Amino acid sequence: MQDNSQSRHEAGMAVRRRVLGDAHVNRAEAAKSDLDAPFQTMITEGAWGTVWASEAISLRERSMLTLALLAATGNFEEIPMHIRATARTGASRRDVAEAFQHVAIYAGVPRANHALKLAKQTYAEMDAAEEEQK
């Protein structure tokens, strides 16, 4: 029988791959070192294996919440990664814009404005990559 942390880790890796894609997770795993291995385990089990793996709300809703929280708290560095993830979670561009409108009202226009700027840049990169694949 698996212990709870092992099953959380496996569930976390599965959800992480589903949301972020194999290429992203493979790069993160390849870059893992002794220094950040405990951190990687913590986020895999906590964020991905507990929060994102919960079936209480959809991955689409989690994407919108995550993007809004990142913007509201000024943690802009991860916004492009989570914008890219919307292609897998089902959150539309309109959903993202709506989430950032909530940020503008409840956390401030400058944060929402910067998040929208990052979203536009990331969507442009995604569109260009899609065009190249055609």
pLDDT digits (tens, 9 = 90+) for 18-59: 999 999 999 999 999 999 999 999 999 999 999 999 999 999
The b/e string for 16-31 (b: 16+ C-beta within 10 A; e otherwise) is bbbbbeeeebeeeeee
CA 20 to chain centre: 7
The number of distinct structural domains making up the chain is 2
Residue % of the chain over a pLDDT of 70? 97
CATH of the domain at 74: 1.20.1290.10
Same domain for 127 and 64? yes
Tell me the pLDDT tens digit for each residue of 77-121: 999 999 999 999 999 999 999 999 999 999 999 999 999 999 999
Let me know whether 62 and 41 are in one domain: no
Q: Check pLDDT > 60 for residue 2.
A: no
Do 21 and 84 fall into the same domain? Answer: no
Considering the domain architecture, whether residues 108 and 74 belong to the same structural domain is answered as yes
